[in-house]
Chains A and B, each alone.
Chain A
C-alpha cells in the first residue's frame, strides 16, 4: 500500500472523494483532484508511456510538470502531464506509445499483415 494514511508531521490525509477512472480500459479508483500520476502510483502503475524511437518505458520523474516523462493520453488528448493534471471522475487515461494510444506490438502486427 503506497498511500500514506497517517503521517507523523502532516497528520491524517483530509477526506477526499473517491472517483473511478480507466487506464487502457481497466477501471481504477483514485481521489478527485489529486494528480492522475498519484492515483496511478497508488494503483501500482509504473509505466506511463513508451518513447517514440526506442520504445523505452517512462514514468514519473520530476512530479512537478517540468520533465514531461509522465505524459499520457487523457480523454483522447496526448502529451498530458499526469503529474500536474487533477484526476476527475470518469477520466479515460491511456498509455502513450510515441503520441498514439496504439501499442507498438499491434502496430507491428498490422504492418506485417499489410493493414494499418
Chain B
C-alpha cells in the first residue's frame, strides 16, 4: 500500500491549493480526482472573478485554473485523474477506483475537497431531455463548445443562474426569461444588470408549473407564486423553449465525510462536516476545504485550501507552529475580507434595505434586474461633469476593488474596506484609457462624455459578444432594461491584452441618451 503525507480528494480550487501549500512545505502529496481533467469547475468559469488582487480578482476563472495547475506541477504535486475515491477508513486508509481496479493508499493526513453538487427542483416534465442543470450548460458550452440549446429559460437568479445566463448569451443562445420563486434577485446586482440590458426579462416570484413535450422539451409554463410559493391560478405564462436550465443552489458533496464518520451538521450553507477554522474535522488528521465544508465560491475555496495545507504541514512537523500561525493569519484576513458585505455568509436569506453607506437598495434592481436612471443618481459612482469621465453603476456592498487599482490617475476610490461602494474623484481627470471598464468583473463601469458637440454624447461600454462591431457601423442603443432607445453609431472598438477579452465599445448617441444607453445591438433600425 502506497503512503503519502497528504492525500487530497478532489483536484478543484481548494484541493489543488491545499496540495500546493503542503507540497511547498515538503510533504509528498497525491490528489485524486474522478474526472478526466483537473480543476474542478474552474475551467467552466469564463467570467472575471471578484475580490482584490490577493484573491485573483479580475482574472477569468479558467486562467486561475491554468495557473493553479502550473503551480501544482512545479511543486511536485501528483494528480491522478479518472480516480474515484470510494472509501475512507480508519487510520486514514483510502480506497480509490482507477479503471476496474481498487487501489489502497494511506495518508498521514487526508483532505476532502469534493466540492458540491447542484440542487434540483421537480416539476411536471422535469425529467424530459432538455431540462438540464446550469452546470451542465456551462460544461457543454465552455468546455465542449456546444450550445445547450437554441432558446433557453433559466430558473434561479443566484450568481450561478445569472452568470450562466450571461454565458449562454455569449455562446450565442437566446434567453427567453430568468425565473425565480424568490421575490428578489439572489445574486449580485451587477450580474443581473448585464443580463437585463441584453433584453432578458426577469420573472421574480414565479416558478415553473410544467415543462412541455413528449420526447423532449418544447416549451415551458411559469406562473406567479403567492407567499407560500404556490402558483397563483390565472398567472400562467408560456414560453417556447427547447431547454430549461436549473440553477437552484448547490449542496456540499459531503458523502465521503459522512461515510468516514465525521461529525456532521446542517448549516445554512448545507449539510457538511463540523470543522475548525483550519478545516480539521472530528476525525484526527482528516480535513475539509472548499464547498464540501459549506457552499461559498471558488475564491474562498482556494484560501480555505491554503489554510488546510498549512495546518496539515504543521501537524506533520513540516512547518513550525509560529510559521503556521503567521500564514493562517494572512490567509484568514484574506478570507474574512471576502466574507464581508451584503452577500456575506451570515447575511444569507436576509434582505438589507440600505447599503453600508446608508443608501437605499434599489427594488427595481432586485425585482427586474436593472436600476432606473433616477435611482442611480444617489450613488457615489454616478457623476456628471464636462468631458470624459467614468460612471460606476455598482450599488451593492460586494467584496471587490479592481477598479480602484485600475485607474492610473486615481479617479476611482474604494478605500481599505473591500465592500465599500466605489466613488469617482471629480478633481482628477480621466485619460479615457478604459482600464476601469475592462477591469470591472461586474461590467458596471462605463466611460461617458455627455457632450461631444452637435448634440451628441459618447458612451464606452464593456462588450463581450460576437460579432465585434466595426467603427462606423450603425446599430441600436439599448437602455438598462434592454429596450432599444435610439439608433447609434459605433465610434470605436478597442481590444488589448490588458483588457483580457473585454472589448471597449464606444457608441455615439444623442446627448439626452448619455445616461440611458448602456448596451449595443447590431442592426435594428427604428
Contacts and interface: CB of A to CB of B under 8 A. Distances in A.
B334 interface: no
A102 to B, nearest CB: 18
Interface stretch (A18-26, A53-61, A72-80, A104-112): A53-61
Contact of A47 (B129, B133, B466): B129
Contacts, number: 93
Tell me the interface secondary structure of chain B in the complex.
loop
Interface residues of B, number: 37
Contacts of A69: 127
A59 B136 contact: no
A59 B130 contact: yes
Most chain A CB atoms below 10 A, which of B36, B139, B216: B139
B125 to A, nearest CB: 10
Interface in A38-91: 38, 41-42, 46-48, 56-66, 69, 83-84, 86
A63 B142 contact: no
A38 B216 contact: no
Contact of A60 (B60, B136, B465): B136
B135 A4 contact: no
A83 B140 CA distance: 9
Interface in B107-139: 117-118, 127-133, 135-137, 139
Interface string B25-69: 000000000111000000000100000000000001000000000
Given A47-B215, A65-B35, A4 B171 contact: yes
Interface residues of A, number: 32
B347 interface: no
Contacts of B139: 63-64, 83
The 7 A-B pairs of least Cβ separation, nearest first, read A59-B129, A63-B136, A46-B216, A38-B144, A46-B129, A63-B139, A2-B147
26 contacts: A2-B149, A2-B150, A7-B171, A8-B466, A9-B60, A10-B145, A35-B144, A42-B146, A46-B215, A46-B216, A47-B216, A57-B128, A57-B215, A57-B216, A58-B129, A59-B129, A60-B129, A61-B132, A61-B136, A62-B135, A62-B136, A63-B135, A64-B139, A65-B34, A65-B35, A84-B36
Interface of A: 2-4, 6-10, 13, 34-35, 38, 41-42, 46-48, 56-66, 69, 83-84, 86
